[in-house]
Structures are given as C-alpha cells and as structure tokens.
Chains A and B, each alone.
Chain A
C-alpha cells in the first residue's frame, strides 16, 4: 500500500489511510476480467474532502521515464457524490486485453487502482494499490546490453 501527502504545506496532520480489498486471490486478474475493489478510507474528517478521484491505470516502471495509460477515471466533486464515496466505496470496471502486467529488466508494467482525495484546505492525498493483469512470467535477466 502506498499513500503520500503531496501538499507542500509546512505543517502536516496525520495522513489518511486507504485500504482496498480485491475480489481475486493474490490480486491476479485474467485478461478482460471484471475488477471489483472495495475501499475504505480512515482518518478523514467528515466534510473535509471536497473531491475524490478514482482511477484504474497502468504505468511503466524501470530505467525509463514513466509512461501511464488511464483505463478508468472518475472525478467526484459534487458534495452528494463525495459523501457517497466516503468512507467506503466500490470501484468496478472491466479490464482490457492489454497491456499485461510485466516484470522485465529495464521495463516493468504495473496496473493499479488509485484514489486521490482533495481536501478543502488545498492539500491532496493519493493512495495506490497494485494488482496484476495476465500471467506473464518475469524476465529472467539481461542476456545482452546493446550499445
């Protein structure tokens, strides 16, 4: 689990905690499966959140610049919808056929569910949880480095 406070204020109160439950064992999903995630947000005062963003995306990791592709995105900034999304909510989406999760040497592809909270104070908090799409074996290592 990864949560971070991306505000630049000098004083930082305790960060919220977002936990997620995935509906597949070991968070491993076959291609084009339905992803259902139940999340729970703790440590957030009622009314302090002005907007919530929920997304399902893939990103690259490794030695190159990070690329990402957003598969599902929704922004809730209407008070009623924000209230519905807190403190628990569900994200349900059908996963695409590609790209598959990949554990390479200099290129890795990760899928994650990301929730970003925007506070009335101007701060924001993001939490993302990684899951796998497909069942690709990790690369065993580098055979040759090309010049």
Chain B
C-alpha cells in the first residue's frame, strides 16, 4: 500500500546525517501531528472550542460547522498516522527498499525483475518507464530520480491546514479574552501550535523561494535505450533565477549491493566511473527564460550494460550538479538504461535491429 508522503529530504538521495536519527526525528514529527489532531478533536468535543454555542439555534444550522471543523483534526490525524506508519515501516531500510515497498516508482528496481528476463535478456532492466514521456525537443524526456515537487506541495498543505487550525483556536481564544474569560488550557495549547505553525510557514516559504530561485532541471534525450560505443544528443534545460556559480553534467556508473544479515540491513552504493560531459561556470539565468543547451553523451565502447537483480545492480545515470549563488547546491539524477552492445533493438523499442542500423 502506498502511503502519502508530504515531507521529504531537501537534498534528494544524499544523507547529511544519521539515517536512524533522521527516521526518529521524522517519527516524532508525525507523532506531533497525531497529537495535535487528537488534542484539537478533544477540545472540540469537550466544548473548549465552541461551535454554534447558541443553544437555541436549530441543529441543522450547526452541522456544517461540525463537518468543516472535524475535517481539520481528521486531516491532522490522517497525515500523522500515515507518516508514523511509513516511518516505522521504513526504519532501518535503504532508499531502494523503501521505494519498492511503498510503490513509488523506483524505476530501475521495478524493472530489474520484469520483462527483460522474459524476453531472454536476464538481468537487463527494461526501459519502459523511461520512454513513456515524450520530450518537447528531443524524443524522450528523462524522469528525475527524486522529484522535489511533491515535497513542496506537502509542505504547503501542512502550512495551510495547521495554520487554519491555529487561526480557529486563536480567534476562539481572542473572543474569550475580550469577553473577560481566560481559557488557560486553550492558551497552553495555542503556544506550541503557534510555534509549529510559524515554523511551517517559514519552511514552506523557504522551500518555495529555493525552488523558484534554483528552478527545475529537465533532461531530454534523442534515443533510449543506449548502447555502448554510441553517442546521444541530450538537452539540458535549467530554469531559475540569478547566477549559478557552476552547473556540471556528468555521466556515471553506479554499483549497488545490498546485504541483509541479522538486524543489519546495509546497502552499499559506489560510483565506479564518472565522466564530466560539460561544465558551465558563472551562468546567469533570467527568470522565465530557461537555460537550454545540447550536449553529446557517449557511452564508451566495451562498457558494462545496465544490470539489476534482487540485491545487486549496475546503473547508468546522468547527474546534474548545480551551485547557485546564495543558495545551497543541488544534485539531480536522471537514470539511463544501457543495453549490451549486441542486443537487438527489436526486443526493446522501435522495431529496428542494431545490426541493420549499423549497415545503413
């Protein structure tokens, strides 16, 4: 079952600290949402937060207030419980295992077990998931390995919902204060609520500014899958605003090996080959005008093809590393599939055989 995810790491797949502490912190955060939802629901039902307090008003005029207001603690409880369940389930697991377990398309892991083997090409992932998005200029648009857009949406939703609850509580407390009543319980709940609400807004705005300033990176490629010894036209499009101290596009080969023994689950990921295809320095990007450039990417002859099995993988990827001025740097990964040189394309996509193409 895929559980909704509203918050994610800022820097994609890289970790800057302990995974265990990170998971613990995440669990605490979601638990706080659960607590907030339960707390608010409790206040609601106990009458601390009044709804339609005029007892003489007909019941039908109050039902919609109840429905609307219950949505808020209900949503908090849902986010919080989903997050706690997700964190507990993913505790101690590698990113790859999490992605596969949650149904988020970890493209290469899901491909490693399927049609490549059925077609007599065991161990070679298929590239169906990489060729189902057409490009605007080149043939295919490459998906990014760790999309950040959902994180922004999640942060925004959280900020809106949390602060909506905060406003309701604050208004209630204000009305009480003006009428000379001091609801100490309400005020005590309001303090941490306000802190979290303000924090949520700050984080969301920061993320929004970062996304707007740094912009999105898009990659298109002229063909897929790739073959050793051949060159491919790649389009890099970077949006944003301001100056980028550097943007580097590299072609890399990553090996991944996962090992499970006892309570230890470890996944080792190493880059075994890297080539800097192109690097730009002091690049100024105008808001609303994407920086677009074509580069040629060559898969070396005799290179290893993409490989995926249950616990091991060899992956090709294009990586864009950017260092904007005044903002943290980013790393965006675009997976590729490289087939063995002698594999016929008729079993991949396109209906051509590689040998026929070479003769032409």
Show the binding face of A for B, using Cβ within 8 Å. Answer: 31-32, 58, 60, 62-67, 69, 71, 96-100, 102, 104-107, 109, 134-137, 139-147
Contact = CB atoms under 8 A, between A and B. Distances in A.
Given A96-B121, A98-B121, 7 more contacts: A64-B259, A65-B258, A97-B342, A98-B122, A99-B340, A104-B304, A106-B268
Contacts of B312: 60, 62, 64-65, 67, 107
A59 B132 CA distance: 31
A133 B258 CA distance: 24
25 contacts: A58-B123, A60-B257, A60-B312, A63-B257, A64-B268, A65-B258, A67-B310, A67-B311, A97-B120, A97-B121, A98-B343, A99-B124, A100-B305, A102-B307, A104-B255, A104-B304, A106-B255, A107-B314, A134-B340, A135-B302, A139-B273, A141-B272, A146-B13, A146-B14, A146-B269
Contacts of A62: 255, 257, 312
Contacts of B311: 60, 64-67
Interface in B289-318: 302-305, 307, 309-314
A107 B257 CA distance: 6
A104 B121 contact: no
Residue from the set A64, A105, A142 with the largest chain B CB neighbour count within 10 Å? A64
Contact of B124 (A98, A140, A143, A146): A98
A55 to B, nearest CB: 14
A63 B307 contact: no
Contact of A145 (B120, B252, B259, B269): B269
A100 B233 CA distance: 26
State the majority secondary structure of interface residues on A.
Answer: loop
Given A58-B123, A102-B304, A146 B271 contact: yes
Contact of B268 (A60, A63, A134, A144): A63
A69 to B, nearest CB: 5
Contacts of B269: 145-146
Given A65-B258, A139-B255, A107 B313 contact: yes
